Amino acid sequence: MKWVLFFWALPLVILGSWYSLSYYDINFGYMILSRPMHDLVFQVYGNILGIPPETIPPLVLKAVIVDSAVLFLIVAFRRRKVVIAWWKARQSRSPDVSLAIDDNLSSAP
């Protein structure tokens, strides 16, 4: 399961790093990290998809969020027995909050 998470996180880190560095034109001498290349990439994707280039980053962000949620739901489903046992143990350890409120009252006038 850790390999699934690794291969999920690696492309996100690469994409996020490229986007951040190229957006702010921090290129370290590499053309791929320059702002003109950033604009060109989104222009090409926009032409291929038939949408304005400035709408692509929010769409990618939404896709990353949905895909991440689906992946974590799959992981939680596969480990549901461990998660349920953890939740039951957590619930059994927590004291009743309604009884503890009276003990915390101040005796000040």
CB 22 within 8 A of CB 38: yes
- In tens, the pLDDT along 62-72 reads 999 999 999 99
Backbone dihedral region of 51: left (phi > 0), alpha (psi from -120 to 50 degrees) or beta? beta
pTM, entire model: 0.73
Q: What distances in angstroms separate CA 98 from CA 75, 95, 101, 103, one per listed residue?
A: 35, 9, 6, 10
Asked, for residue 108, whether it belongs to a domain, the answer is no
Query: What residues make up the domain containing 9?
Result: 2-92
- In sequence order, what are the residues at sequence separation of 6 or more whose Cβ sits closer than 8 angstroms to the Cβ of residue 56? 42, 45, 46, 49
d(CA 73, CA 62): 17
- In tens, the pLDDT along 49-97 reads 999 999 999 999 999 999 999 999 999 999 999 999 999 999 888 665 5
How many domains does the chain contain in total?
1
Asked, for residue 69, whether it belongs to a domain, the answer is yes
- In tens, the pLDDT along 9-33 reads 999 999 999 999 999 999 999 999 9
